[in-house]
């Protein structure tokens, strides 16, 4: 009989297409994924992957096992959601995935309000830019900047992030607008709406610094490196000044989403209400 945990690692490899992708998804080392897949092959007596110059390619048997494994995984996660949904006393652990800037600047500073209202509830807050899989229970609730298309999820708009150009007071005092230099995301986020807008705003003016993290952009702007496009609450938190005399801005909706199996659960309801309030308080400046 094979180990169910080995099957989970194999499914991640089949879905992600690489050891590194599977390791990131499962939050383990590459070697752990390789060892678990090898153990599954030994247990079932079938070759599941071809190892070609560091690449893992599913065999025909591997494709069939992956198909079965995905069905098992879907049902296993459904059982987990059912178990959480049955916990009616708001004493469960609820995991939330949110963009890092929202997690650190809007949610974390207000956690005392949730703790006071629900002292038995345990929250796991994940600051993540990636789109987590709620059906796989990578999180129970997610805050996203795009509405999910998965019909198994409940989604509602809970706020809006308004982005404007910001820079340090010293930077703005030291040069004219046509001399501005810009801070941007790296190429992995070049299609993000606020990144596209920043490049249009910069025009022929140079982008002198790139990073994959908005908090680093804010720190770079604090250090007088250039102009960054940040959410208003982040610009305020970093003590920056608005850098566009024309007052141009771009806004993105914030969506709160969770699996429909969790509708009516008291712990999930408490956390979603708290998250919506965090976004509302930011809008009203409370």
pLDDT single digits (tens) 68-92:
888 777 777 766 666 666 655 556 7
The total of structural domains in the chain comes to: 3
231 and 272: one domain?
no
137 and 180: one domain?
no
Are residues 206 and 182 in contact, defined by beta-carbon separation less than 8 angstroms? yes
269 and 127: one domain?
yes
Q: Where are the beta strands (DSSP E) in 93-225?
A: 93-98, 122-127, 141-144, 153-167, 182-185, 207-211
In a domain, 61, yes or no: yes
Are residues 144 and 151 in contact, defined by beta-carbon separation less than 8 angstroms? no
- Could you tell me the CATH number of the domain that includes residue 175? 3.40.190.10
Question: What is the domain range of residue 200?
Answer: 161-252
Instruction: Please state, as a whole number, how many other Cβ atoms lie within 10 Å of the Cβ of residue 214.
Output: 25
**pLDDT per position as a tens digit, 119-160:** 888 999 999 888 888 887 889 999 999 898 888 899 999 999
């Amino acid at each position: 009989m094979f180990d169910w945990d080995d099957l989970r690692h194999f499914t991640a490899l089949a879905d992600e297409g690489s050891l590194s992708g599977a390791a990131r998804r499962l939050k383990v080392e590459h070697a752990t994924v390789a060892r678990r897949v090898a153990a599954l092959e030994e247990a079932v007596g079938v070759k599941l992957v071809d190892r070609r110059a560091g690449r893992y390619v599913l065999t025909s048997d591997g494709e069939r096992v992956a198909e079965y494994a995905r069905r098992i995984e879907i049902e296993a996660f459904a059982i987990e959601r059912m178990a959480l949904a049955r916990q009616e006393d708001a004493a469960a652990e609820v995991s939330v995935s949110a963009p890092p800037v929202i997690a650190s600047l809007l949610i974390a500073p207000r956690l005392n309000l949730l703790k006071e209202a629900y002292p038995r509830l345990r929250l796991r807050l994940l600051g993540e830019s990636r789109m987590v899989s709620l059906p796989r229970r990578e999180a129970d609730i997610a805050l996203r900047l795009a509405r999910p298309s998965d019909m198994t999820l409940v989604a509602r708009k809970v706020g809006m992030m308004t982005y404007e150009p910001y820079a340090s007071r010293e930077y703005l005092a030291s040069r004219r607008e046509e001399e501005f230099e810009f801070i941007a995301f790296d190429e992995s986020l070049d299609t993000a709406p606020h990144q596209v807008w920043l490049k249009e705003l910069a025009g022929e003016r140079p982008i002198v610094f790139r990073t994959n993290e908005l908090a680093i952009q804010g720190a770079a702007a604090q250090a007088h490196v250039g102009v960054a496009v940040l959410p208003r609450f982040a610009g305020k938190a970093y003590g920056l000044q608005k850098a566009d005399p024309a007052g141009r801005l771009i806004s993105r909706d914030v969506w709160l989403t969770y699996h429909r199996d969790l509708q009516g659960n008291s712990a999930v309801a408490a956390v979603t209400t708290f998250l919506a309030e965090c976004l509302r308080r930011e809008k009203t400046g409370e």
